[in-house]
Amino acid sequence: MKYISTRGGTAPITFSEAVMTGLARDGGLMLPEEFPNIKDKLTAWSSLSYTELAYEIMKLYADDLTEEELRTVIEKSYATFRHPETTPTKKVGPVYILELFHGPTFAFKDVALQFLGNMFELILNKTGANLNIIAATSGDTGSAAIHGVRGRKGINIFVMHPNGRVSAVQELQMTSVTDANVYNIAIDGTFDDAQAIVKTLFGDLSFKDKYSLGAVNSINWARVLAQVVYYFYAGLKVMKETGSEKISFSVPTGNFGDIFAGYVAHLMGLPIDKLILATNENDILSRFFNTGVYNVEGVHPTISPSMDIQVASNFERWLYLHAKRDSKQLCDWMQQFKETKSLTIGNPDELDEIMVAGKADTAKTLATIKRFYEESSYVLDPHTAVGVSVALEKAPTSPVICLATAHPAKFPDAIKDATGKSGLATAAEIEALKGKPTRKFELPADAGAVAAFVIEKLQ
Ligand SMILES: *Cc1c(COP(=O)(O)O)cnc(C)c1O
């Protein structure tokens, strides 16, 4: 399997090369040249364990690795999860909850970033190269990426988070990691500013090459790939259990990475009825799928901070496929968007037959947390609650699996606001962080300042 850029300006490369390059050299995102159709394998796949299924799916895309290499990376990555099923699904009230938060940092980002950390190590061991990761985080990617690479030989990580806009637990999960190879940067700006800095630094190819920059944001294809696995795992299980021939998923969305992985599962042949895209007040994507117009507004801080994003980098992958892989068309759209901050793609009814979108504001999110706690004694985190709220509103006819993207213990203030009770959701690992020594560096939201910082620290 070879990988190409959405912008059409790079020669096809292997999986390992795509993982190491992160953002494509022409500024686009990497995608496989085709999506294998696996419809005839669904029955066999429905009885596999999580790691067996991960191997079957990933080997289709990572065919430049040996079987042993890939199996070892997968085994190591999911051995750190606290649940034997890695990502279990539970029936809660009217929906199924797919718990993706049993990894080291209690958010779904661990599913991909444990895998990516081990993949980096495997590839670097083979080539003897070094890697300096530059990342932007709205809260959860940062800690998951840091836990994926802390203390690893040949890797440094620089993570920018928007100063004061991540939850206290999220900040502590990052800044309490004081390994020498970890640099937490608090940017005076928003997540979008941080993501734009990542893109600027990767766009300077001589800087990228000289300092061996690597990406852990979901611009990295390996992250999307790792997330495809749980759509199959949960989807096949719930289809088997309910006898339904189709399944829907509701996905709390920020950067469009997670839901794009579901889209890939659909393209491969998983019988998905609807993919429900759920946003908080930062609803650029939900407006887009309802109107056909993609235009940026200001970022609103919310109680689901990991979704406080306006410009979703993975949306480019969907746009490229929507343009039937016409890079020229995609480049025109990206240029128009860059110049006018707005893009009109067309009639919303013809955009995509499986995508459905909606938003849940703070009041709806809190009400959903309260309802599930009172009716089912189940505590949803605020991101998950956004997805559940929109799922109930859209109510597809097929069973709905709601992705639980974080553990509620990460967001105790929101849980208390919703239920009036404190201490409902706790985790010993998170409690243990309190009072630990921390380290962070404050910088302006400026690519030049971040570049200078990286150079200074690497000397
Ligand atoms: C990152 C994140 C999201 C959004 O996922 P995207 O892939 O960026 O769309 C939702 N919920 C939580 C808890 C997250 O950490």
Q: What is the DSSP letter of 65?
A: S
Which pLDDT value is given to residue 350?
Answer: 85
Determine the average pLDDT of the residues in 256-285: 97
Range 287-301 average pLDDT: 92
Q: What is the dihedral of CA 177, 180, 181, 186, to 10 degrees?
A: 60
Quick check: 346 pLDDT over 90?
Answer: no
Q: How far is the CA of 262 from the centre of ligand 1 (A)?
A: 13
Choose which residue among 405, 407, 415 to substitute to test ligand 1 binding: the one with the highest number of ligand atoms within 8 A of its C-beta.
405
Please check the confidence at residue 412 and state whether its pLDDT lies above 90.
Answer: yes
Q: What is the DSSP letter of 299?
A: P
- Residue of 174, 253, 280, 315 to mutate, ligand 1, most atoms within 8 A of C-beta: 253
Digit-coded pLDDT (tens) for 160-207:
999 999 888 999 999 999 999 999 999 999 999 999 999 999 999 999
- Measured between alpha carbons, how far is 32 from 64 in angstroms, rounded to an integer? 13
d(CA 438, CA 329): 47
Q: Name the residue with tokens 């201490």.
A: 423
Q: Please calculate the CA angle 365-297-348 and round it to the nearest 5 degrees.
A: 80
- Between the CA of 252 and the centroid of ligand 1 the distance, in Å, is 6
Residue 148 and residue 171: Cα distance in Å, rounded?
Answer: 16
* Rounded distance from Cα 323 to ligand 1 centre (Å): 25
Q: List all residues 6 or more positions away from 69 whose beta carbon is below 8 Å from its beta carbon.
A: 122
Query: How far are the Cα atoms of 66, 117, 158, 227, 377 from residue 120, in angstroms, in the given order?
Result: 15, 5, 15, 17, 40
Q: What is the pLDDT of residue 96?
A: 98
pLDDT number for residue 274: 98
Specify the ligand 1 atom closest to the Cα of 255.
Answer: 8
With contact defined as beta carbons under 8 Å apart, do 406 and 304 qualify?
no
Token pair recorded at residue 434: 């309190």
What mean pLDDT, rounded, does the chain reach? 96
Ligand 1 atom closest to Cα of residue 254: 9
Average pLDDT over residues 227-254: 98
Distance from C-alpha of 268 to C-alpha of 57, rounded to nearest angstrom: 10
pLDDT digits (tens, 9 = 90+) for 59-103: 999 999 999 999 999 999 999 999 999 999 999 999 999 999 999
Q: What percent of the chain has pLDDT over 70?
A: 100
AA identity, residue 87: T
Straight-line distance from the first to the last Cα atom of the chain, in angstroms, rounded to the nearest whole number: 38
Q: What average pLDDT score do residues 248-277 get?
A: 97
Whether the Cβ atoms of residue 63 and residue 70 lie closer than 8 Å to each other: no
Band of residue 48 on the pLDDT scale cut at 50, 70, 90: very high
Contact 101, 144 (CB under 8 A): no
- Expressed in angstroms and rounded, the spacing between residue 32 Cα and the centre of ligand 1 is 23
> 307 near 253, Cβ under 8 Å?
yes
**pTM of the predicted structure, to 2 decimals:** 0.96
Other Cβ atoms less than 10 A from the Cβ of 338: the count is 9
Find residue 376's DSSP bridge partners: none
Buried b (16+ CB within 10 A) or exposed e, 282-317: bbbbbbbbbebebeeeebeebbbbbbbbbbbbbbbb
* Closest-lying ligand 1 atom to the alpha carbon of residue 384: 11
Q: List the beta strands (DSSP E) in 10-143.
A: 30-32, 89-92, 95-99, 131-136
Q: Which sequence positions are flagged as catalytic?
A: 109
In this prediction, residues 126-147 reach a mean pLDDT of 94
Which residue's CA lies nearest to atom 15 of ligand 1?
A: 140
Kindly state the average pLDDT of the residues 383-396. 97
Residue with more model confidence, 139 or 227: 227
